[in-house]
């Protein structure tokens, strides 16, 4: 416990490891997108069919909850998935505690959301993760395609929010220990994104681009 509450650990987590986490996240993401575009280029049948207009239309269509047929077929999952992702992406960006750190380190600031709102958004991520977990162990059609890696990826998404929430409310562990744990899990998540299936955030726009362009070519409706 002493090590977990130590300033030495805090200094490592807030110093070199922040750099490692952000550089790996940004560099790894650029690499993933670059190699993906390279693979698409090799397949001679992909790029000639891509249309910018159809891509944007398809992306827009799919990003609206319930606009596409697949979202309408599963309303509960749709709501949970949208809530989960919106809160997952926007909470850390507009969180007051994080923006204070950006200001202290780099002197940069941007909008922050009120802490009562980000606290609720954090709870939404926590509960939607619990929902995904129970869906994975109970729904037969999901259980069938669930592997250990799915639980690991779900935990990587869950832990920064869970520990961030406990640190903010100063519950369970001494505050310093929980903040250290939180930063560790946050950095782990950033590093994991480009190298695991969490990188699906880079793929979705390419899949929509490909499918949207094909649907446009055949003059059919997008799903």
Q: Which of 79, 86, 97, 206 binds ligand HEM (CB under 6 A)?
A: 97
Nearer residue to ligand HEM within complex by CB, 60 or 217: 60
Task: Determine if residue 222 is left, alpha or beta; phi over 0 gives left, psi from -120 to 50 gives alpha, anything else beta.
Answer: beta
When asked if residue 57 is in the footprint of ligand HEM (CB under 6 A), the reply is: no
> Which of 164, 188, 158 minimizes the C-alpha distance to 84?
158
Alpha-helix residue ranges (DSSP H) falling in 64-147: 69-73, 75-94, 96-106, 115-138, 140-143
> In the complex, what is the shortest distance from the CB of residue 219 to ligand HEM, in angstroms, rounded to a whole number?
26
- Within 131-190, the residues that bind ligand HEM by CB under 6 A are 132, 136, 150, 153-154, 157, 160-161, 164-165, 167-168, 179, 182-183, 186-187, 189-190
E strand or H helix at 124: helix 115-138
Alpha-carbon span 84 to 221, nearest angstrom: 28
Alpha-carbon span 223 to 208, nearest angstrom: 10
C-beta of residue 121 within 8 angstroms of C-beta of residue 91: yes
Nearer residue to ligand HEM within complex by CB, 8 or 45: 8
Binding residues (CB under 6 A) for ligand HEM: these are 14, 18, 21, 77, 81, 85, 88-89, 91-92, 95, 97-98, 101, 115, 118-119, 122, 132, 136, 150, 153-154, 157, 160-161, 164-165, 167-168, 179, 182-183, 186-187, 189-190, 193, 198, 200-201, 204
């Amino acid at each position: 416990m002493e090590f977990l509450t130590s300033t030495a650990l805090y200094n490592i987590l807030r110093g070199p490891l922040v750099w490692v986490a952000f550089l790996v996240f940004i560099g790894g993401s650029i690499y993933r997108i670059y190699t993906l575009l390279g693979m698409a280029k090799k397949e001679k049948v992909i790029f000639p069919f891509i249309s910018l207009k159809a891509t944007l239309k398809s992306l827009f269509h799919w990003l609206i909850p319930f606009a596409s047929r697949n979202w309408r077929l599963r309303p509960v999952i749709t709501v949970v998935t949208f809530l989960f992702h919106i809160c997952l992406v926007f909470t850390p960006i507009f969180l007051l505690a994080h923006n204070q750190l950006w200001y202290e380190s780099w002197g940069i600031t941007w909008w922050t959301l009120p802490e009562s709102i980000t606290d609720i958004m954090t709870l939404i991520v926590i509960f939607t993760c619990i929902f995904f977990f129970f869906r994975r162990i109970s729904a037969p059609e999901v259980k069938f395609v669930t592997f250990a890696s799915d639980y690991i990826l779900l935990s990587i998404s869950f832990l920064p929010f869970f520990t961030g929430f406990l640190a903010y409310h100063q519950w369970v562990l001494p505050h310093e220990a929980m903040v250290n744990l939180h930063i560790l899990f946050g950095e782990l998540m950033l590093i994991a994104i480009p190298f695991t299936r969490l990188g699906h955030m880079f793929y979705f726009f390419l899949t929509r681009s490909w499918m949207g362009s094909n649907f446009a070519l055949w003059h059919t409706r997008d799903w």
